[in-house]
Amino acid sequence: MRDNGEATLDGIDRKIVAELSRDGRLSVRAIAERVHVSRTAAHNRMQSLVARGVITGFGAHVDRAAIGLHVTALVVVRIADVSWERIAADLAKLPFVEKVQAVSGDIDIILTVSAPDHEQLSQAILRNIHDMPGVASTRSHLVLEEITGHAPAQTLDIWS
């Protein structure tokens, strides 16, 4: 571990993380071949990365529209006298809320909210989020188009 508590990754660990970030369904054998280590070494390193909290889970990237969520908004939230932990937990439980992020500056939270249509998005924002105790104000921004960049793990080879 480094002095700041950050997990230290060597070149092989970074390559394993990068490969899994590209395709979380890769077998241990495929990872071993791609990073040029034995299957046992790849398995042990993957287990270590999970145990150390570097890899926090495995999942699928889902197309929102394909599952019926056709409209997405970023909702900027200012909170009143309430703890971040409590309000964040309450917001994360709401229908259609995908992500809750604490941010710096003159706002407190940014939510990613996706719904089947504008009416349901409006209801989620006006009735569920805006009226929640502890929410002082909201401001919504519709996502018109989204282009995926590189996940942090996919650029590990350029990090110093």
Tell me the pLDDT tens digit for each residue of 13-62: 988 988 888 888 999 999 999 999 999 999 999 999 999 999 998 888 88
Q: What CA–CA distance (Å, rounded) separates 57 from 90?
A: 23
Tell me the pLDDT tens digit for each residue of 67-93: 999 999 999 999 998 888 999 999 999
Q: What is the mean pLDDT of the chain?
A: 88
Confidence label for 3 from pLDDT (cuts 50, 70 and 90): very low
> What's the longest Cα–Cα distance across the chain?
56
Residues 6+ apart with CB under 8 A from 63: none
What's this model's pTM, rounded to 2 decimal places? 0.76
DSSP, res 6: P
Claim to verify: residue 84 and residue 47 sit in the same structural domain: no
Percent of the chain with pLDDT over 90: 69
Claim to verify: residue 46 and residue 82 sit in the same structural domain: no
Claim to verify: residue 26 and residue 80 sit in the same structural domain: no
- Residue 160 placed within a domain: no
- Domain assignment of residue 33, given as a range: 11-52
**CATH of residue 33:** 1.10.10.10
Claim to verify: residue 110 and residue 75 sit in the same structural domain: yes
Claim to verify: residue 86 and residue 123 sit in the same structural domain: yes
The confidence score (pLDDT) of residue 151 equals 65
Residues 6+ apart with CB under 8 A from 69: 96, 114, 115, 116
